[in-house]
Structure 1
Amino acid sequence: MPPKNQSSTSTGDDVAFVPHKLDREATFYVAGHRGLVGSAIWRKLESERFVNLVGRTSTELDLKDRDAVFGFFAETRPRYVVLAAAKVGGILANSTYPVDFLSDNMRIQVNVLDAAREHGVERLLFLGSSCIYPKFAEQPIKEEYLLTGHLEPTNDAYAIAKIAGIMQIQAIRRQHGLPWISAMPTNLYGPGDNFSPEGSHVLPALIRRYDEAVKSGADKVTNWGTGSPRREFLHVDDMAAACLHLLENYDGPDQVNVGTGIDVTIKELAEIVAETVGFKGTIDWDTSKPDGTPQKLLDVTKLASAGWEANIDLVEGIRNTVLWYRKNVNSIRE
C-alpha cells in the first residue's frame, strides 16, 4: 500500500488486499451519513465500536464543491470511506430532472474519489444502484451484464452517473493500485427513507399513501402502473451489514450485487403494505402511468461467495419501517 499522498502505478488489476478487520480506531468518513443508506452504515459502525466516525451534512460540506471536498480530506485524512452520498429519487423525480441527477451525482463522485485518492484513503466502498443494468437484462441480473443493453429511460441519467463511478473505481485500481471496491444494492427501504410524494421510491411511497388513507378514512387507493413489475427489496440495516462485510472480506474490480435474491410484484408489495397499516379499502391501478423495468432481480452469487446473505424478512422489515414512519411522521425529510 502506498503511503499517504503517494500513488503506486499498476499496469493491470494486481491489487493485493488481504481480508482483515478494519481498525476500529481509524478515521472513517461516511459520505451521506444522514441519508437512508449512510445513516444505517453509521449505526452499524457505531454498533461495531468504530470510535472515530466522521460525517458532514450537505450544508456543512457541499460535495459538489471540489475545493471544499479537497479541503475536508486534507483536514480529516480518513483511512476508510464509504461513498453513500447521492442525489436520489423515484421514477417521477428521475424522469423530470435528468440533468440534475446526472450532473450532481457525477460531481459528487469525481470530487470525493479524486480527493480520497489524493489523500491516501486505504479502503473505499462506492455505492451505486441496480438501475445500472439494462432494462431487459436476463434475470436474475449478474454483474457481468453491465453495459450489455439499453437502460431504463426513466432513470438513465442517474444510471450513467453510477456506471461512471464504477468505471472510476476500476480505473483507480488499475492506475494507482488501491483496493477500492463497488457495491450495487437492490431497492432499499427502512428507517430514514424519503417519504415525500415527489421524491420517494415505491415502497416508502406506498407506506405513506396507505397510512394517510387509513387516517383519512379513504375507501380507495390508486397506485401507478399495472402492479405487474417485479422488484426485490433489501432492508437498509442488512445493506449496512453487507457494506462492512465487503470492506473486510472482498476485493475485486467488479461491482458486487447486494440483495436478497427474492422478488415480489408491486401488487403483492402493495397488499403487504395495506395489510401492515390496516387499510381495508379497494386498491386500484392507473395503467396510464409507467411501470418502469418489468423485472429487476439481482444475482447475489458473488455476495454469497464473499460470505454474506440477507437476514431481514420483507414482511418483518415493512412492519418495523411502518412503525418508524408513524413515530417520525412529523419530522421526516420531505
Structure 2
Amino acid sequence: MIPDYLKFIRIQDKKILPFLFVVVFIMIGFYWKNNGYKFNQNDTYYLSGIIGILFFNSIYELKAFWAYKCVTKAIDFSFFSGSKLSKTEASFSHPFLASILFTVVFWLIIWSSFLVHPAIYVLIPLLAISPIFIYGVFRNLRTSYIKQVATAAVEKVKYKHLYRYIFAYLLLGVALNLLTISPLKHEADFSQQAGVFSARVVVSMFIACCIVLTMNLLFTRLSKRYIFLGRLFLKEIDFYFSVSLPWPAFYDQPFWLRILLLLLIEFVWIIFVSMLLAWSGWQIWFEIYFLICFLPCIGFNYLHVYALWHRDFLMACDMYFRWGTIDKQTHLW
C-alpha cells in the first residue's frame, strides 16, 4: 500500500530532526572547542554563517529528492490536489535566497541573545534552538518544492558535468571548514610569533588538517543516487553528466594506502609551505595559511567524492531505465 504524504513525512521527520541535532552539535561544538570553550558577541557572524551553510545543504537538493518520489509514485500526493504555487512563494523558496534570509534572521537571534544573556548561557539555547529552527523552515520549504515539481520545466541541462557539481559542494565545505577553524588563530599552538616554521605550528596544523579531513569524509557517506535520479527526471542532468573517473590509477589502490600516502604528502606539504613563508617573510591570515596547507586534503576529497558520486550516478541511470520499463508495463496493464 502506498503511504500518503502526511504519514510519510511523520516517519521522515523522526529521522531528520535527530540528524540535524547531531550535525549542529558537532559543528557548533567544534567551533566552541576551537574558541577556547567560550562565546562572545564577535562570534555571531561565524555562528550564523555555520548554521546558514548547514541550512543550505539541507534544502538545496530537496526538489530533486521529491521529484524522484513524485515520478515513481512512491507516495500518495493527493494532499496537494488543487494546491498552487504563488510567484512570491517560488521566489522566496529559492535555496540561495532562502538561505540568505535564514542566515540574517538567525544572526539577529544570536545577536539578541548576547544582549539579553551572558555569553556563558548562550550555548545551550543555541544548540537547542538551531536544529529546531532549521527544521521549521525546512518543513515549510518542503511543501513549496513539492509544488514546484509538478510545474518544473527545464529548457536546458542545469548541471553539465559532475566535476562542477562537486566543485560547488567542496566550495561550501571549505567555507564551513574555515568558519569552524577560524578561532584557532588565537590558540598558542598556532601562534606565529615564533615563526610558522616551528615544530609546534607544523604539528598542530597537521593535526587540524587531519581532523577536518575526517569530518569531511564522514559527511560524504550520504548517498546521492536518489538525488541524481530526481535530477534525471527533472532533466537537470543528462546521461553524459559523468562518463568516467578522472584518475583511474588513484582508485586502483586500497583506501588505507591512499590515506597513508595523503598523510605523508600532507605533512611534507605543510613543512614546505611553512618553510616558504618563513623564508619569504610574508605575513598571511591564519585562514589563508590553513587553506594552503589543506590543499592536498581538498584534492583527495575531490577524487574520493567523485568516485562515490560517479557510482551513485550510474546507479541512478540504471534505476531511471528500469523505471521506464516498469512504467511502460504498468500502462499496458
TM-score range (shorter-chain normalised) is under 0.3
Q: TM-score, normalised by structure 1?
A: 0.25
Whose helix fraction is larger, Structure 1's or Structure 2's? 2
Q: TM-score, normalised by structure 2?
A: 0.25
Which has the greater radius of gyration?
2
Greater relative CO (CA pairs within 8 A, separation 6+): 2
Whose strand fraction is larger, Structure 1's or Structure 2's? 1
